[in-house]
Amino acid sequence: MSSTNQYSMRDPTTQYPRPPFEEQPQHAPGLAKDMKPRPDHGEDSYVGFGRLKGRKALITGGDSGIGRAVAIAFAREGADVVINYLHEEEEDAQEVLKIMRESGVSAHAMPGDIKEEAFCEKLIATAVKEMDGLDILVNVAGKQTWQDSVLDITTEQFDATFKTNVYALFWLCKAVIPHLPRGATIINTASIQAYDQSPILGDYAPTKSAIVGFTKVLAKQLASQGIRVNAVAPGPIWTPLQPSGGQPQKKVIEFGSNIPLGRPGQPAELASIYVFLASQESSFVTAEVFGVTGGHPLP
């Protein structure tokens, strides 16, 4: 990946690799280090300006993909950060911790499965203790497994997808609200799938619709408390979620080829919108969903 920072003008159609890519099957949840080409999370490109100095953030799915890019950006903007991830993703997580600490902030990791309500409650309590408070919650972690037909989706898969994508978000938000001061923010991660559903994502797409609805309800409930709630809806983004069962390998090869910019987005290309929504720059923005889709607009 190019080490040029995100402020250098470039042609967005060729700024990052374009398909075709090679087949690269991984076991879920997958590792960023094993992807070809390796995703850009902003390791060499994100430049911070202190926009989140003094803030305290918890990010789920912070080991790789969008969550990793957000963690790096937040740290370089001056925020202390706790990341959550699965035990299988420890290698990626340790890389992120090292990068964040190089920015001079406090960075912590708490592995565990957010499909469990008790763990979600423990995660919030631990983050509050580690950072002596919490004022940004970023829900990124998600589960995606393709199936040709709803007849192929087992109850076990359906349950795991909804627990990871929807129940965990509900549990984490419910646990964090009592700790949030005025000015705090919650940022959820929806998807273009909430609006334009792929036929092979019969359980994943509905979870993203639920996230959009929950975000808007929660934003209206918390507005009077001075807490803002928004969501980001990415299009096709080059993360381990895709080759580790999120897409069939024939689609991985051509991933992102059908959108106007002709390529998948990189996690680094979403980091700035999360920073904006977390910062005071977006003080009059709540109950919104921001699309980052490469030209496939939200309705």
DSSP state for residue 200 in the 8-state scheme: T
Question: Residue 97 sits in which domain range?
Answer: 32-292
DSSP 8-class letter at 167: I
Cβ-based burial of 201 (10 A; exposed 0-12, middle 13-18, buried ≥19): buried
Confirm whether 24 is domain-assigned: no
Report the pLDDT value the prediction gives residue 4, as an integer from 0 to 100.
60
Label the pairing between strands 289-292 and 228-234. parallel
What are the pLDDT digits (tens) for 14-26? 999 999 999 999 9
Q: Is 227's pLDDT higher than 90?
A: yes
Catalytic residue set: 204
Report the percentage of the chain scoring pLDDT > 70: 98
**Mean predicted lDDT score pLDDT of the chain:** 96
Q: Is 158 part of any domain?
A: yes
* 170 — pLDDT class (breaks 50, 70, 90): very high
Render 60-122 in DSSP notation, one character per residue.
Answer: ETTTSHHHHHHHHHHHHTT-EEEEEE-GGGHHHHHHHHHHHHTTTS-EEEEE--TTSHHHHHH
pTM: 0.96
Cα pseudo-dihedral 242, 245, 246, 247, rounded to 10 = 80
CATH number at residue 213: 3.40.50.720
Any domain includes 203: yes
Q: How many domains does the chain have?
A: 1
**DSSP secondary structure, 32-65, as one string:** GGGSSSPPP-STTT----STTTT-EEEEETTTSH
Structure token digits, residue 266: 């990189």
Residue 92 near residue 111, CB atoms below 8 Å: no
